[in-house]
Amino acid sequence: MKIEIAQATLYAESADVGDAIETVSVSSTDKTTNITFGFNAKYFLEALRAIPTTDVLIEAIAPTYPVILSPIGVGKVGRQIALIMPVQLKEIKEFTTGPKPIVDETKAVLV
């Protein structure tokens, strides 16, 4: 996952299925940093499924620190959060071939 000022691009690679790219709009409190994280897709999807809203707050410090996902618009009482650990990337691969990214109107917020 590569997070830039106004968008997040998710890259997936599988020997069985192939490559995928998805881009979503984001709102960030840090307007200067572009950051890239590596996640196990299974764990990332499980964390997103546990969040009851379509808008998700992603709290991140650095690519090697835990990331917290929580719903936006839900009060503090009973709010479900998910903590996932990024995986270390040996190389940051940019997908330059294949289909163009599909821009989704779903929004996430990065803190």
Delineate the domains of the chain, giving CATH numbers in brackets.
Answer: 2-110 (3.10.150.10)
Each residue of 59-87: pLDDT tens digit? Answer: 888 888 999 998 888 777 667 889 999 98
- Per-residue CA distances from 70 to 12, 47, 63, 99 (Å): 22, 9, 18, 30
d(CA 72, CA 89): 29
pLDDT value at 111 more than 90: no
pLDDT tens profile 36-59: 888 888 898 899 888 888 888 888
Mean pLDDT taken over the chain = 77
What is the pTM (predicted TM-score) of this model? 0.67
**Per-residue pLDDT at 97 exceeds 70:** no
108's enclosing H/E stretch is strand 102-110
